[in-house]
Amino acid sequence: MKEKLSPLIRKHLIDVSPYQPGKPVEEVKRELKLDDVIKLASNENLLGVSKKALKALRKYLKEANYYPDDSCFYLKKKLAKIHDVKEDEIILGNGSVELLYYLVFTFADESVSIAYNKGAFAMYPIVSKISNAQIIEVPLKKGNLACDPIAILKKIKENTRIIFLSNPNNPTGTSFTHDEAEELLKNVKENTLVVFDEAYTHFVESENFPDSFSLYRRYKNLIILRTLSKAYGLAGLRIGYLIARPEIINSLNKVKVPFNVNRLVQIAALHALDDDEFVEKTKKLIKKEKRYLYKEFEKLNLFYLKSDTNFIFVKFKMKAKEIFEKLLKRGIITRPLPESLFPNALRITIGRRKENKKLISALNEILKE
């Protein structure tokens, strides 16, 4: 059903379909009257929040009456050290999605085009439409359904201002290679900004994954986007960051919302970035459970894509929506994907063994029906 809109809305916003988040646990418990619900829908970290971050959060909670440090001074200092860049090459966001908005607000309007792969991260069409830019949609790579820099290279135009690439790609979990990244950067004009959105970088297992920071040093128009929502377990507090040349950062700062990165998440992030033990534990869990799930999917005769992320793209022989509903009734929330693109696939977050076992046992039941 089409929602009722104000007649005053800017015309180009009429076709924007708002982002559909994964169903919250509380909603499913309430609606289906279930006590025990697990969420494998939003690629969150099921090990929780880093212990170091939690401890610091408890200590600084009472300072929530003060505005945050708008410049994120200490966080920039820490990130600059981690990535061997300068503080003025960093901007932080209320989640990395906020920075996607800043990119289009700053660099795009109806006179330019934005290119991305159809079936890449769902936010790219949304922010591109909001900016009113012309849109160039290019298919994902055949076979592994990764983003395809070479195919994009062939389709971009004189006026292409931004290229969004999700690597590894959400929702397929697959990646393009260093050579492909370099081929794009070598051939694209300097006035086309190339965004490598690397939300899942900690989980990458592919051998030829781009060394984006070595490319960044050589290509002025490369922008790297990272998040602390996944490996660091801070999705609920919202924090991400973007690395680019200072003139790009200064330009993005013109549209930055004041105090966009709240006081508590700045504290949490500072400590989480120091918590190597938590990140290692997370990476180890994902690697192990990924293999467990691969094996179980094979036993169930299900097609899946080998993942460089903390989720798996799984294909069914029937409409994925049906499987999604049946899993939901059993208290398991997964993520259905746009029907026009992936009618038979679900995106399933990798949990701990207990969540994964519950998923597999439910799938066993459902597929026998």
Ligand X SMILES: Cc1ncc(COP(=O)(O)O)c(C=O)c1O
Residues that bind ligand X (CB under 6 A): 43, 95-97, 121, 166, 170, 197, 199, 227, 229, 235, 240
Q: How far is the CB of 65 from ligand X (least distance, A)?
A: 26
| Amino acid symbol at 160 | T
- Secondary element (H or E) of residue 298: helix 276-299
Q: 67 CB contacts (<8 Å, ≥6 apart)?
A: 259, 263
Beta strands in 110-177 (DSSP E): 113-118, 134-139, 160-166
258's tokens: 């004041």
254's tokens: 């013109």
Nearer to ligand X, 76 or 330 (CB): 76
Nearer to ligand X, 52 or 226 (CB): 226
Nearer to ligand X, 97 or 136 (CB): 97
Nearer to ligand X, 170 or 175 (CB): 170
Q: How far is the CB of 242 from ligand X (least distance, A)?
A: 10
Q: How far is the CB of 201 from ligand X (least distance, A)?
A: 10
Q: How far is the CB of 104 from ligand X (least distance, A)?
A: 14
Q: How far is the CB of 226 from ligand X (least distance, A)?
A: 8
How many whole angstroms separate alpha carbon 167 and alpha carbon 211? 11
Nearer to ligand X, 166 or 221 (CB): 166
Q: Which of 282, 269, 276, 259 is nearest to 54 (CA)?
A: 269
How many whole angstroms separate alpha carbon 367 and alpha carbon 99? 41
Q: 112 CB contacts (<8 Å, ≥6 apart)?
A: 133, 134, 159, 160, 161, 162
Nearer to ligand X, 229 or 296 (CB): 229
How many whole angstroms separate alpha carbon 321 and alpha carbon 315? 11
Q: How far is the CB of 198 from ligand X (least distance, A)?
A: 8
